[in-house]
């Protein structure tokens, strides 16, 4: 017999789930996540509310802040969209970070190989190279997953470390800028390799890619047979096989696209932001994207919105560094939010009831 | 001369494998009860920073270790509540724990980066045993925590396979409904195992910051928590085999230095990739093998137990 706490309260299956519940679970998760993290901030003797206001002000309080928030949300958006496809199939790709780095590598290869090409030729080639490199990095762990059921969570995660070391090697080794005075950076890209920006801001064309991908994903998932296959495969691999769907092929394809999109995000970062390959091009976009995809319940439109919020969180994180906080405070906040999202999931299908268990 | 290089490699391999071993033993216990905890990396980091902070203020590394164990257990409690009581998705909950732990450790350790520590675990050769040629050098010239890890391997093995509670624990991981029907408290056992697993992960982190490389660095675990999760599969959920695995990975981890000493010129980046590449390769080979042999993961691993659907 369980202890009395368990027997007094229990979960009862909901007949239907209202839209209100679907929206309230993630919203409350964010609120409770903020309070939970606030407790830790309070422990250091600072006022959590003040810290959060400072973050909010940094992210949304000025035109510069808003534009930086959008800039940060671009790679988050593209990565999270890619991850959402894999998560729908219950493929736990947590390798977006490495796939982003490989995409940056692919795009940089194109930029350094064809420096004289005009933008209308070079940019598409960089996009394809970035997508391919990221996609192949996602496909590699998908092969043992599809054929031998090798745990993809561990393999995709470990491949992040390999990809980051590979880029680190390139920028101090073969691709090191001879004029860099020993900084770990590649030569600066030529004009044709740089994505156009909106006016004088840093907001770049990657935003368009992200929104287009979100639209495409929405259409594919809801109106095509393949989108239907992905959803069925995720809910029940056995049913998918029974219905004649090629489960193995879908694993490979989904992981390739998932990695490819992260690779595209890497391309936009090196092309528009750093304009060269360098150490540490991502402050963990690939990891934050996991939380975004989950918080948005894998819904493309919601991912757009959540990405902007998380972009703001990153920018806000930079602005509290000046008052003595580690930049990792933001990942603490993000982890806490994810706790409440996964923990709150049960309330979507069940409700908490007090009293004796009825029926059985 | 030649011989001493190899001895040094194997000896440091044991030390480098120790944090992975502690974490893997904890994860074996957790997974044997049917719960997958992918938060090992995060729990280790929190253990590492807690151990470092407490040792700095108390000047007692044992106190640091103790508090690291407590911190690891508290972190695991979050995962236990989410995955056992709220029946949450264990993959995502574990990931959340890793992300949260990475952030929390960075938050707590902000002012500790680069601070030297004097009260650390130092090697204590065991009289007699350390005199044995080869074996003495490799196994018995280390710090106290390494010896504790040897002991833990046997204790955990004995507990799992030779005690009634161990049998019950494995039953909970294989078939919780049947265990529940037999009067075993599934929830209590799962809670206990997840928390104990977190405590060992906390100890693993403290080993890094108090013995292996006495210092605090953000993300100093560098994926060792994930390697430990892979090691559990490599060790087929058996503590004895986990030791062989941790020794193997520890040796690969430090092989870079040896290769540089004997004059093999490879960029250090590639040497740093080795443990990750080996882990992935081994994972693939072992997973293929487990399909043909009778060893397999605990039947109910990562499946939440719902009493009402029994």
- Closest chain A residue to the Cα of B231, Cα to Cα: A154
SS (H, E, C) B83-102: HHHCCCCHHHHHHHHHHHHH
- Closest chain A residue to the Cα of B229, Cα to Cα: A154
Q: Are B166 and B2 in contact (CB under 8 A)?
A: no
Q: Which of A345, A341, A344, A324 is nearest to A333 (CA)?
A: A341
Structurally, how many domains does chain B consist of? 1
Question: Is A294 in the B-facing interface, judged by CB distances under 8 Å?
Answer: yes
The span from the CA of A204 to the CA of B66, in Å, is 51
Residues of B in contact with A360 (CB under 8 A): 308
pLDDT at A194: 92
- Residue B108 CA, chain-centre distance (Å), reads 22
Q: Are A70 and A311 in contact (CB under 8 A)?
A: yes
pLDDT in tens, B46-88: 999 999 999 999 999 999 999 999 999 999 999 999 999 999 9
| Residue carrying the six token digits 């590639």 | B270
pLDDT at A6: 54
Of B96, B185, B288, the CB nearest to A342: B96
- Would you call B283 and A166 a contact, using CB atoms and an 8 Å cutoff? no
Q: Which of A1, A4, A14, A3 is nearest to A353 (CA)?
A: A14
The span from the CA of A103 to the CA of A22, in Å, is 34
Domain assignment of residue A105, yes or no: yes
pLDDT at A125: 97
The span from the CA of A38 to the CA of A49, in Å, is 8
Task: Check residue A142 and give left, alpha or beta (phi > 0: left; psi -120 to 50: alpha).
Answer: alpha
pLDDT at A10: 76
- Would you call B227 and A141 a contact, using CB atoms and an 8 Å cutoff? no
Of B92, B103, B291, the CB nearest to A331: B103
Min CA distance, A1 vs chain B (Å)? 7
Min CA distance, A3 vs chain B (Å)? 9
Of B222, B226, B272, the CB nearest to A154: B226
Q: Are A126 and A277 in contact (CB under 8 A)?
A: no
Relative orientation angle of helices A285-295 and A300-321, to the nearest 10 degrees? 130
Q: Does pLDDT of B257 surpass 80? A: no
Retrieve residue B3's tokens: 């011989």
User: Residue B1: which pLDDT band, with cuts at 50, 70 and 90?
Assistant: very low
- Would you call B88 and A150 a contact, using CB atoms and an 8 Å cutoff? no
- Closest chain A residue to the Cα of B268, Cα to Cα: A169
- Would you call B102 and A151 a contact, using CB atoms and an 8 Å cutoff? no
**CA distances to A60, A314, B257 from A69, in Å:** 8, 8, 43
Residues of B in contact with A336 (CB under 8 A): 96, 100
Q: Please tell me whether residue B142 adopts helix, strand or coil conformation.
A: coil
The string of DSSP letters for B38-80 reads TTHHHHHHHHHHHHHHHHHHHS-HHHHHHHHHHHHHHHHHHHH
Question: Is A343 in the B-facing interface, judged by CB distances under 8 Å?
Answer: yes
pLDDT at A360: 38
Question: Which residues partner with A352 through β-bridges?
Answer: A11
User: Does the predicted model carry a pTM greater than 0.90?
Assistant: yes
To the nearest whole number, what is the mean pLDDT of chain B?
A: 90
DSSP assignment, residue B168? H
Residues of B in contact with A169 (CB under 8 A): 267, 269-270
Q: Are B276 and A161 in contact (CB under 8 A)?
A: yes
- Would you call B287 and A6 a contact, using CB atoms and an 8 Å cutoff? no
Question: Is A134 in the B-facing interface, judged by CB distances under 8 Å?
Answer: no
Residues of A in contact with B109 (CB under 8 A): 326
The span from the CA of A343 to the CA of B93, in Å, is 8
The span from the CA of A67 to the CA of A70, in Å, is 5
Residues of the domain holding B118: 2-309
Min CA distance, A290 vs chain B (Å)? 9
- Residue A24 CA, chain-centre distance (Å), reads 22
SS (H, E, C) chain A: CCCHHHHHEEEEECCCCCHHHHHHHHHHHHHHHHHHHHHHHHHCCCCHHHHHHHHHHHHHCCHHHHHHHHHHHHHHHHHHHHHHHHHHCCCCCCCHHHHHHHHHHHHHHHHHHCCCCCHHHHHHHHHHHHHHHHHHHHHHHHHHHHHHCCCHHHHHHHHHHHHHHHHHHHHHCCCCCCCCCCCCECCCCCHHHCCCECCCCCCECHHHHHHHHHHHHHHHHHHCHHHHHHHHHHHCHHHHHHCCCCHHHHHHHHHHHHHHHHHHHHHHHHHHHHCCCECCCCCCHHHHHHHHHHHCCCCHHHHHHHHHHHHHHHHHHHHHHCCCCCCCHHHHHHHHHHHHHHHHCHHHHEEEEECCCCCC
| A41, A83, A165, best to mutate vs chain B, most B CBs in 10 Å | A165
| A142, A298, A328, A353, best to mutate vs chain B, most B CBs in 10 Å | A328
- The answer to which of A126-130, B1-5, B169-173 has the lowest mean pLDDT is B1-5
Q: Cβ neighbours of residue A242 under 8 Å, at least 6 residues apart?
A: none
- Closest chain B residue to the Cα of A331, Cα to Cα: B103
Q: Phi/psi of residue A188, each to 5°?
A: -65, 140
Q: What is the CATH number of the domain that holds B277?
A: 1.10.3470
Domain assignment of residue A9, yes or no: no
The span from the CA of B243 to the CA of B20, in Å, is 9
Residues of B in contact with A25 (CB under 8 A): none
- Would you call A151 and B283 a contact, using CB atoms and an 8 Å cutoff? yes
- Would you call A158 and B227 a contact, using CB atoms and an 8 Å cutoff? yes
The span from the CA of B278 to the CA of B280, in Å, is 5
**Complex ipTM value:** 0.89
- Would you call B106 and A329 a contact, using CB atoms and an 8 Å cutoff? yes
CA contacts within 13 A on the Cβ side of A359: 4
Q: Are A85 and A260 in contact (CB under 8 A)?
A: no
- Closest chain B residue to the Cα of A347, Cα to Cα: B86
Q: Are B222 and B49 in contact (CB under 8 A)?
A: no
Q: Please tell me whether residue B262 adopts helix, strand or coil conformation.
A: coil
Q: What is the CATH number of the domain that holds A34?
A: 1.10.3470
Q: Does pLDDT of B293 surpass 80? A: no
The span from the CA of A59 to the CA of A66, in Å, is 6
- Would you call B226 and A169 a contact, using CB atoms and an 8 Å cutoff? no
- Would you call A342 and B89 a contact, using CB atoms and an 8 Å cutoff? yes
Would you give per-residue pLDDT tens digits along chain A (360 residues)? 445 555 567 777 777 777 787 888 888 888 999 999 999 889 888 889 988 999 999 999 999 999 999 999 999 999 999 999 999 998 999 999 999 999 999 999 999 999 999 999 999 999 999 999 999 999 999 999 999 889 899 999 999 999 999 999 999 989 998 888 888 899 999 999 999 998 888 999 999 999 999 999 999 998 999 888 888 888 887 787 777 778 889 999 999 999 999 999 999 999 999 999 999 999 899 999 999 999 898 999 999 999 999 999 999 988 888 877 777 888 899 999 999 988 888 887 787 777 655 443
Domain assignment of residue A163, yes or no: yes
Domain assignment of residue A192, yes or no: yes
Residues of B in contact with A357 (CB under 8 A): 308
Question: Is A183 in the B-facing interface, judged by CB distances under 8 Å?
Answer: no
The span from the CA of A135 to the CA of A129, in Å, is 10
CA contacts within 13 A on the Cβ side of B231: 34
User: Residue B294: which pLDDT band, with cuts at 50, 70 and 90?
Assistant: low
pLDDT in tens, B86-124: 999 999 899 999 999 999 999 999 888 888 888 889 888
Maximum CA pair distance of chain B?
Answer: 67
Domain assignment of residue A359, yes or no: no
Structurally, how many domains does chain A consist of? 1
Residues of the domain holding A183: 20-44+69-349
């Amino acid at each position: 017999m369980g202890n009395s706490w368990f027997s007094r309260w229990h979960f009862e299956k909901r007949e239907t789930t209202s839209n209100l519940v679907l929206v309230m679970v993630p919203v409350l998760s964010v609120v409770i996540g903020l309070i939970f993290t606030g407790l830790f901030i309070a422990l250091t003797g600072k006022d959590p509310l003040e810290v959060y206001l400072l973050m909010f002000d940094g992210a949304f309080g000025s035109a510069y802040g808003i534009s930086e928030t959008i800039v940060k949300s671009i790679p988050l958006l593209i990565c999270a969209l890619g991850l959402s496809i894999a998560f729908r199939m219950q493929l736990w790709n947590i390798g977006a970070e490495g796939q982003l780095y490989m995409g940056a590598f692919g795009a940089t290869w194109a930029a350094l190989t064809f420096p004289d090409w005009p933008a209308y030729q070079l940019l598409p080639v960089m996009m394809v190279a970035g997508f391919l490199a990221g996609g192949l990095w996602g496909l590699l762990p998908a092969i043992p997953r599809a054929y031998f059921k090798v745990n993809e969570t561990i393999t995709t995660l470990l491949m992040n470390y390999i990809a980051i070391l590979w880029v680190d090697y390139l920028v101090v080794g073969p691709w090191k800028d001879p004029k860099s005075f020993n900084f770990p950076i590649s030569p600066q890209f030529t004009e044709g390799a740089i994505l156009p920006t909106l006016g004088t801001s840093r907001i770049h064309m990657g935003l368009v890619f992200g929104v287009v991908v979100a639209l495409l994903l929405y259409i594919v998932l809801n109106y095509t047979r393949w989108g239907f296959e992905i959803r069925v495969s995720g809910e029940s691999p056995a049913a998918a096989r029974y219905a004649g769907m090629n489960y193995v092929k879908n694993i490979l394809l989904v992981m390739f696209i998932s990695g490819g999109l992260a690779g595209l995000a890497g391309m936009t970062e090196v092309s528009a932001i750093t304009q060269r390959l360098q150490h540490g091009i991502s402050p963990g976009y690939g990891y934050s994207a996991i939380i975004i995809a989950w918080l948005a319940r894998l819904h493309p439109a919601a991912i757009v919105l959540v990405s902007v919020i998380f972009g703001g969180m990153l920018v806000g994180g930079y602005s509290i560094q000046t008052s003595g906080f580690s930049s990792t405070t933001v990942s603490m906040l993000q982890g806490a939010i994810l706790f409440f999202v996964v923990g709150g999931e049960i309330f979507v299908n069940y409700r908490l009831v007090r009293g004796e268990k009825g029926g059985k | 001369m030649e011989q001493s290089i190899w001895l040094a490699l194997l000896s440091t391999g044991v030390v480098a494998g120790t944090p992975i071993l502690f974490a893997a033993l904890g994860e074996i216990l957790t997974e044997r009860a049917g719960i997958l905890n992918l938060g090992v990396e995060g729990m280790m980091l929190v253990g590492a920073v807690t151990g470092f902070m407490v040792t700095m203020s108390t000047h007692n590394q044992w106190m640091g270790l103790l508090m690291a164990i407590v911190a690891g257990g508290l972190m695991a409690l979050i995962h236990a509540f989410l995955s056992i009581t709220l029946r949450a998705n264990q993959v995502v909950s574990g990931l959340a724990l890793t992300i949260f732990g990475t952030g929390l450790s960075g938050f707590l350790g902000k002012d500790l980066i680069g601070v030297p520590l004097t009260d650390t675990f130092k090697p204590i050769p065991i009289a007699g045993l350390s005199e044995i040629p080869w074996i003495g050098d490799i196994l018995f010239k280390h710090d106290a925590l390494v010896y504790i890890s040897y002991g833990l391997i046997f204790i955990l093995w004995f507990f799992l396979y030779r005690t009634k509670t161990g049998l019950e624990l494995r039953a909970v991981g294989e078939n919780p409904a049947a265990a529940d029907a037999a009067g075993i408290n599934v929830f209590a056992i799962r809670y206990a195992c997840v928390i104990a697993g977190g405590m060992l992960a906390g100890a693993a982190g403290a080993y890094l910051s108090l013995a292996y490389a006495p210092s605090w660095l953000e993300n100093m675990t560098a994926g060792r928590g994930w390697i430990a999760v892979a090691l559990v599969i490599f060790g087929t959920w058996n503590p004895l085999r986990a030791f062989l695995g941790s020794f193997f990975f520890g040796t690969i981890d430090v092989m870079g230095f040896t290769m540089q000493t004997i004059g093999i010129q490879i960029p250090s980046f590639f040497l740093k990739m080795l443990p990750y590449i080996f882990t992935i390769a081994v994972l693939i080979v072992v997973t293929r093998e487990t399909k043909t042999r009778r060893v397999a993961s605990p039947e109910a691993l990562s499946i939440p137990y719902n009493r009402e659907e029994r």
